[in-house]
Every structure is written in structure tokens, then in C-alpha cells.
Amino acid sequence: MNLSFSPAEEGFRREVRDWMEANVPRTRLPSMDTAAGFAAHRQWERTLNGGGFAMVSWPREYGGRGANLLEWLIFEEEYWRAGAPGRVNQNGIFLLGPTLMEYGTAEQKARFLPRMASGEEIWAQGWSEPNAGSDMAAIRANARADGDEFVLNGQKTWSSRAAFADWLFGIFRTDPESKRHQGLTFVLVPLDTPGVTVRPIAQLDGETGFAEVFFDEVRVPRWNQLGKLGEGWKVAMATAGFERGLMLRSPARFQATAARLVELYRRHASEADPSLRDAVVRAWTNAEAYCLNTYRTATRLIAGGSIGAEASLNKIFWSEMDVHMHETALAILDARAELLPHASAAGDVGDWLDGFYFSLAGPIYAGTNEIQRNVIAERLLGLPRS
Ligand SMILES: Cc1cc2nc3c(=O)[nH]c(=O)nc-3n(C[C@H](O)[C@H](O)[C@H](O)COP(=O)(O)OP(=O)(O)OC[C@H]3O[C@@H](n4cnc5c(N)ncnc54)[C@H](O)[C@@H]3O)c2cc1C
């Protein structure tokens, strides 16, 4: 076993580090859940693309660098180390992009991937419906074939950043007689099409991180179908695999949080409850363990392996680790944790509270952890459904 990086990988790391040091904005961008913040983050995507760093693991022809998974992990380490902004087009580059590469036609790849990489087109995910969340097979939004068009009707909800996004990918029922996972089709929809109504959902902080999307006789070309008619579930499960597997939440994100937590504890060690030291150590070791496990998976994938239901283990691990790290930070900060960063007595509370609230969503999005546990029980452990 060789645990060191090759000279080429070290060179790539230096290149990324130098570029990030020169280009990462010095001041934090406004939240991407606001119109101004969304625009600023889109601009950052353009800058990344200009440097050739939009999505390093994609083939060059689509705006990538043809990097392998190990190089992608190195890129992520340098990205988070530099404190670079969140990826406003994560639905596109991390989820739809890889799905398009697997299921898209050559024309679809050429049409969508470069504009996705450049941030020119930012994507929302349209899966959940008011009565189809965990039970996604209950989807009722439908697409009726009419000549060379689909006519869409129905409603999606909880669509992250759809309030500002350009396109939405979703699954729609194309066979009205079908039940559950059958008869669904994966369709790509421009959000400015007549008949689409995007209604922002304000969060507790007033920012519109989500939207409901209504479809009323919305016409899109059948060319926008991804994968085969009626096989949308299969395509969506590939997307879900990318979401729960390696792409959406790389280890570097949590290693960066763990490093900040260690620093926070050091600053407060004299007044913090000594038992918190164990929690800090646990957070740090968990982040390292997640990193090593991800490198192991990446090596296996490079050698031709695949990732299946074990992606659910990853998802539970990172989401619970994130909650634990933020809870520990709030405990270190004690009563001050509840102050907003601009309060006069805030001291170094930073954005831990904001991060804590977002961490609580981790066990819900990308499929709740209860559902992941069902997947593990049935598909990895072979336990009976009841
Ligand atoms: C931050 C965030 C971003 C999101 N972004 C998007 C997005 O961009 N696009 C999109 O389509 N959706 C998005 N969602 C929605 C998300 O996918 C759903 O919230 C999630 O799938 C759960 O569905 P639900 O909210 O309808 O809850 P429900 O499915 O009603 O579940 C309620 C509770 O019951 C539990 N439960 C349900 N069924 C079972 C079962 N069979 N066994 C055990 N427990 C069960 C669940 O685990 C949960 O605790 C987002 C959610 C969040 C929090």
C-alpha cells in the first residue's frame, strides 16, 4: 500500500493552491440564498472556469481537466483549505453533470455541460413534491407527450435555489396508468418557459433558499428527456448515488470544519468544559477517518469498481459528523453561541450558529437518514423489509 502522493499529484496540488491563493475572494460573499449572493457566486463560478477549475474531473471537451478521482480530492482539499465560496451550481456540476455523462446523448452533453461548467446555466433539482418526499415513487407531476414536445403539469417543492436558478431537472410521470417507480421520465426544464411559476419559500432568516415550482401546461421539447422514456427512476437513482456518494460532500469540507473547531477549542480551552476536549478530538478523528475511507473508495473506483448502496453509509456518516461538530462548537462558545456575528459581545462566534442550523438539514436532504438506514438494512445487510 502506498499512501503518498505522486510527484504529478503534488504538482497539481501546488498549482491549485497557488491559483486559490491568488483568486479566492478576500471577503466572504453574501449568502447564495439571496439574489445578490447568488449573482456573486455565479461570478465566482465564472472565475473558477476561467482558471480551468470549474470541475476538474470532467473531460476537457466539457470544460474539465480530465483529472482522476484522487486529483479531484486533492482539488477539494485545496479548495476548502483556501476558504473558497460554496458551489452555487452544485446540483449541476456534482449531480446532473455526472448523470448526463452516463445517460445523455452526445448532443445533450455538448449542449449542457460547458454552460454548466461556466456557471452560465445554474440548475435546480426538482424531485420532491408535497406528497412525495421520502416516498419519491409517489410522484404525481406529469409529462404528456404531444408530438415532439412534453406538456408538464404538477408541482415540485423544496427545490434548493430554484428561486434564482435557470434550469430544473426533475422526474415526471409520463405513463398515467403507471404505478410507483414505473412510467417516470427524467426531463430537463428551462425555468423561464411559459407556464412555470417559481414561488420562493422564505426560511426562518428570511432568505429564499428554496422554492416551490408549479407547472401549468408547460411545453418542452422531447429532446430534453434524459435517458429512456419511462426509465426516469433508474436515471434518478444514478443522480442520487452521486449525491450520497463521493461528490456532494467531499471530506475536505469536514476536515476544514474540524480544523476550525480545534482552533476554537484552543482559544477557549481555559474556560471550556474539559469533557469537550474529547468531543473535539472525536470530531477531528471522524473527519480524518472519513477522508481515508473516501480515498479507499476512490482508489477502488479508479481500479474499475463501483459504488452502490454503501453510498448510504457515507451520507449518514458525514451528516451526523457535521451535526456533532457544530454542536461541539456551540457548547464551547456556551451562551455566546446564540449571538449573531455583528452583536457587540459576539467575540469570535463567527458563523457557527448558521452552520449548526444548516448541519441539521444534512440528515434530511439527499434522502433522510432513516431512509438511508432502510437502504443499508435491506441492500447491504439483506434484512427483510418487515
Ligand atoms: C436543505 C434541504 C435542501 C433540499 N433540497 C431539495 C432540492 O433541491 N430538490 C428536491 O427535490 N428536494 C429537496 N429537499 C427535500 C428533501 O429531499 C426532502 O425533505 C426529503 O426527501 C424528505 O421528504 P419530506 O420532507 O417530504 O419528509 P417525509 O418524507 O414526509 O418524511 C418525514 C419523516 O418521516 C421519515 N420517514 C418517511 N418514510 C420513512 C420510512 N419508509 N421509514 C422510516 N422513516 C421514514 C423521514 O425520515 C422523516 O423523518 C431538500 C431538503 C432540505 C432540508
- C-beta of residue 314 within 8 angstroms of C-beta of residue 357: no
- C-beta of residue 287 within 8 angstroms of C-beta of residue 249: no
Confidence of residue 246 (pLDDT cuts 50, 70, 90): confident
- Mean of the pLDDT values across residues 166-171? 98
Mean pLDDT lowest for which of 44-48, 219-223, 227-231, 294-298? 294-298
- Mean of the pLDDT values across residues 331-354? 89
Look at residue 334 in the predicted model and tell me its pLDDT.
92
Confidence of residue 364 (pLDDT cuts 50, 70, 90): very high
Mean pLDDT lowest for which of 55-69, 181-195, 257-271, 279-293? 55-69
Look at residue 308 in the predicted model and tell me its pLDDT.
83
Report helix angle 311-333 to 232-244, nearest 10: 40
> What predicted TM-score, i.e. pTM, was given to this entire model?
0.94
- For residue 146, count other CB atoms closer than 10 A to its CB: 11
Chain position carrying cell 412525495: 132
- C-beta of residue 138 within 8 angstroms of C-beta of residue 151: no
Confidence of residue 19 (pLDDT cuts 50, 70, 90): very high
Chain centroid to Cα 120, Å, comes to 18
- Is 80 exceeded by the pLDDT of residue 247? no
Q: How many A from CA of 312 to the centre of ligand 1?
A: 15
**Grid coordinates representing 252?**
475536505
Q: Ligand 1 pocket test: which of 359, 364, 378 has the largest number of ligand atoms within 8 Å of its C-beta?
A: 364
Asked if residue 370 has its Cβ within 6 Å of ligand 1, the reply is yes
- C-beta of residue 168 within 8 angstroms of C-beta of residue 156: yes
Confidence of residue 204 (pLDDT cuts 50, 70, 90): confident
Report helix angle 311-333 to 352-361, nearest 10: 150
- Is 80 exceeded by the pLDDT of residue 150? yes
Q: Ligand 1 pocket test: which of 312, 368, 378 has the largest number of ligand atoms within 8 Å of its C-beta?
A: 368
What DSSP state is assigned to residue 61? Answer: G
**% of the chain beyond a pLDDT of 70:** 100
Chain centroid to Cα 221, Å, comes to 27
Chain position carrying cell 486533492: 74
- Is 80 exceeded by the pLDDT of residue 72? yes
Computed over every residue of the chain, the mean pLDDT equals 94
Q: How many A from CA of 370 to the centre of ligand 1?
A: 10
- C-beta of residue 127 within 8 angstroms of C-beta of residue 170: yes
Q: How far is CA 132 from CA 6, 141, 156, 218, 239, in A?
A: 47, 10, 9, 21, 17
Confidence of residue 353 (pLDDT cuts 50, 70, 90): very high
Asked if residue 371 has its Cβ within 6 Å of ligand 1, the reply is yes
- Ligand 1 atom closest to Cα of residue 127: 11
Residues catalogued as catalytic: 243
Look at residue 274 in the predicted model and tell me its pLDDT.
87
- Is 80 exceeded by the pLDDT of residue 1? no
Look at residue 340 in the predicted model and tell me its pLDDT.
86
User: Whose CA is closest to atom 13 on ligand 1?
Assistant: 158
pLDDT tens sequence across 82-97: 999 999 999 999 999 9
pLDDT tens sequence across 96-149: 999 999 999 999 999 999 999 999 999 999 999 999 999 999 999 999 999 999
- C-beta of residue 181 within 8 angstroms of C-beta of residue 118: no
- C-beta of residue 298 within 8 angstroms of C-beta of residue 77: no
Confidence of residue 347 (pLDDT cuts 50, 70, 90): confident
**% of the chain beyond a pLDDT of 90:** 83
Q: By CB neighbour count within 10 A (0-12 exposed, 13-18 middle, 19+ buried), where does 336 fall?
A: middle
- Mean of the pLDDT values across residues 55-62? 90
Look at residue 307 in the predicted model and tell me its pLDDT.
82
Asked if residue 361 has its Cβ within 6 Å of ligand 1, the reply is yes
Confidence of residue 386 (pLDDT cuts 50, 70, 90): confident
Asked if residue 158 has its Cβ within 6 Å of ligand 1, the reply is yes
Look at residue 36 in the predicted model and tell me its pLDDT.
96
